[in-house]
Amino acid sequence: MAMSSDPSYQAPRDSGRYRISVTSSMDGTEQPSYLILPPGFEPDGAPVPVVVSLHTWSGNLEQRNADLEAAVGERGWIYLFPDFRGVNDHAEACASELSRRDVIDALDWVMAHYPVDAEKVYLTGMSGGGYMTLAMVERYPDRWTAASAWVPLSDLRSWYDFHARDGYGEMTRSCVGGDPGKDPGVVEEMIRRSPIHQLSQARDVAIDINAGRFDGHNGASIPVWHSLAAFNAIAESQGASMVSDTEIAQMSRHDPRLDHPLDGDEVYDAVYDRRVFLRRTAGKARVTIFDGAHEGIAPATVAWFDDHPTR
């Protein structure tokens, strides 16, 4: 199990926010995370849930999600924010095997040092963190009680094609080793880093996938079809109903809405405090397209976790 390499290191025991270091089980490097122990935390007390929160595409360890941190702390849960190789602008980041393992190493470290309820291990992220959330649930589906992915990208090649001429395109080329239009090996690397191709492995995970309906419009970065395609990959693996190509096209146009919504598609969700324009379920998975753009909603994240207290 990955641990700090310093034998004299003592894990924090009091409530507060701490920077920890965990030795990578793959390359032996020291990888940082932030650990937040909730108010009134008792290191020798009863097991508590842990929420693993993942930073965005251009973010790193120093990014903060104050609303989510507060919501987790109010419940008395442990909050873990790993770096997983930082900004997605180099090969070791961007859902590489190293970066995925960093998340598991950090989680294992916390579980080795604190009373964590192994039946209540939650995962979430927004944007590039939503992408990494999908990548983690398909690679390590047995580690998560529930997951909440917000405005995720699911197919790296399509993301690249959408951003090939801007900074995100340049960052992606740095991650995968070049231009997929010029090198078939880069295409294969993109497939390895794209959760859409393996999400059938997450068919038994309670995963909630969310996107604002105007994401991908007017400078917002990830079109909603990434979320719908991710849901469809899980639904198809279960033999469940999928969002149709026609419906995806309707949710991708200038005024995204369904011409013929199903019962439950268009509702007001008080937890989101938003109107919902599409909502579907397949087994334990759910997808929601809400009135918004490129954003996450912390109360809805923890509500999903509250709704899934055990595996």
Q: What is the pLDDT of residues 251-262, one digit of tens each?
A: 999 999 999 999
Question: What six digits make up the tokens of 193?
Answer: 């880093």
Tens of pLDDT, residue by residue over 243-302, are 999 999 999 999 999 999 999 999 999 999 999 999 999 999 999 999 999 999 999 999
- Provide φ and ψ at 37, rounded to 5°: -95, 130
Which ranges in 141-211 belong to alpha helices (H)? 156-163, 167-176, 184-192
Is pTM beyond 0.75 here? Answer: yes
Class of CATH domain 16-155+194-306:
alpha beta
pLDDT at position 3: 43
Cβ(275)–Cβ(291) below 8 Å: yes
Sequence ranges of the domains in the chain? 16-155+194-306
- Which is it for strands 78-82 and 267-269: parallel, antiparallel or unpaired? unpaired
Question: What six digits make up the tokens of 165?
Answer: 């001429």
pLDDT at position 231: 98
Sheet strand arrangement including 206-212:
16-23, 30-37, 78-82, 48-54, 116-126, 146-150, 206-212, 285-290, 274-282, 267-269
Cβ(73)–Cβ(64) below 8 Å: no
pLDDT at position 311: 85
Mean pLDDT over residues 230-234, rounded? 98
pLDDT at position 143: 98
Query: How many whole angstroms separate alpha carbon 143 and alpha carbon 169?
Result: 32
Helix-, strand-, coil-residue percentages of the chain, each rounded to 5: 35, 20, 45
Count of C-beta atoms within a 10 Å radius of residue 180: 22
Tens of pLDDT, residue by residue over 187-204, are 999 999 999 999 999 999
End-to-end CA distance of the chain: 23
Say which residues have a Cβ less than 8 Å from residue 228's Cβ, sequence separation at least 6. Answer: 211, 243, 247, 248, 251, 278, 287, 289
> What is residue 12's DSSP assignment?
-
